[in-house]
Amino acid sequence: MDLIIADSDRFYTAALADRLRRWDKADHVTQCSKTEELHQLIAERKGDKSPACFLFNPVEFNALLHLPHKSVWPDCWLAVPILPGQTTVDLGEKAYHGMVYHRFDTVGSLINQLASIDTHHAKTVSGSMSVSEKKAGEPKTEDQRTAGSLLSAESPTADAKLWLHISLSNPNQKSASRQRLEKLVAVGRQVIYLPLMPTYLMDTIHERTQGPTLSDLLLRLLGDAIKVDDLGCYWQTGTSSFLCFRPPERSDDLLTCDLSILRRLILLLREKAVADPTGQMLFFIDCRCLPLTAAATVGVLCDVCELEMPQGQNFMARAAQTEGSRLLAKLPASCQVIRCLCNDSGKKSIKREGGSGPLVRIS
157-197 pLDDT, tens per residue? 678 999 999 999 866 666 788 889 888 988 888 899 999 99
CATH code of 40's domain: 3.40.50.2300
pLDDT digits (tens, 9 = 90+) for 19-67: 898 888 888 899 988 888 888 888 777 767 778 888 998 888 877 877 7
At 155, is the pLDDT very low, low, confident or very high (cuts 50, 70, 90)?
low
**Shared domain check, 306 and 162:** yes
Strand locations in 73-144 (E): 77-83, 101-102
CA separation for the pair 60, 54 (Å, rounded) = 13
Beta pairing partners, 245: 235
Q: Which residues contact 220 (CB under 8 A, 6 or more apart)?
A: 226, 230
**Shared domain check, 99 and 80:** yes
Tell me the HSE value of 18 on the side-chain side, using a 13 A CA sphere. Answer: 6
**Shared domain check, 255 and 184:** yes
**Shared domain check, 230 and 100:** no
Where on the phi/psi map is residue 74: left (φ > 0), alpha (ψ -120 to 50), or beta?
A: beta
pLDDT digits (tens, 9 = 90+) for 227-280: 888 999 999 887 667 899 999 999 889 999 999 999 999 999 999 999 888 888
Residue 287's pLDDT is 94
Write down which residue in 133, 163, 181 finishes a domain.
Answer: 133
Residue 285 φ/ψ, nearest 5 degrees: -105, 110
**Shared domain check, 168 and 35:** no
Write down which residue in 100, 133, 166 finishes a domain.
Answer: 133
**Shared domain check, 317 and 239:** yes
**Shared domain check, 129 and 269:** no
**Shared domain check, 157 and 42:** no
Contact (Cβ atoms closer than 8 angstroms) between residue 360 and residue 349: yes
Whether the per-residue pLDDT at 333 is higher than 60: the answer is: yes
CA separation for the pair 285, 302 (Å, rounded) = 9
Contact (Cβ atoms closer than 8 angstroms) between residue 327 and residue 166: yes
Range of the domain at 123: 2-133
Distances from the Cα of 67 to the Cαs of 142, 189, 282, 354, in angstroms? 24, 9, 14, 32
CATH code of 160's domain: 3.40.50.300
- Taking Cα atoms as reference points, which of 188, 76, 158 lies closest to residue 124? 76
pLDDT (average), residues 61-90: 73
Write down which residue in 133, 162, 181 finishes a domain.
Answer: 133
**Shared domain check, 31 and 13:** yes
125 against 68, higher pLDDT: 68
Beta pairing partners, 310: 342
Q: What order do you get walking across the sheet with 2-6 strand by strand?
A: 28-32, 2-6, 52-56, 77-83, 101-102
pLDDT (average), residues 65-93: 69
Looking at the 3D structure of the chain, how many domains does it have? 2
For the question of whether the overall pTM of this predicted structure is more than 0.75, the answer is no
**Shared domain check, 301 and 162:** yes
**Shared domain check, 310 and 197:** yes
Beta pairing partners, 4: 30, 54
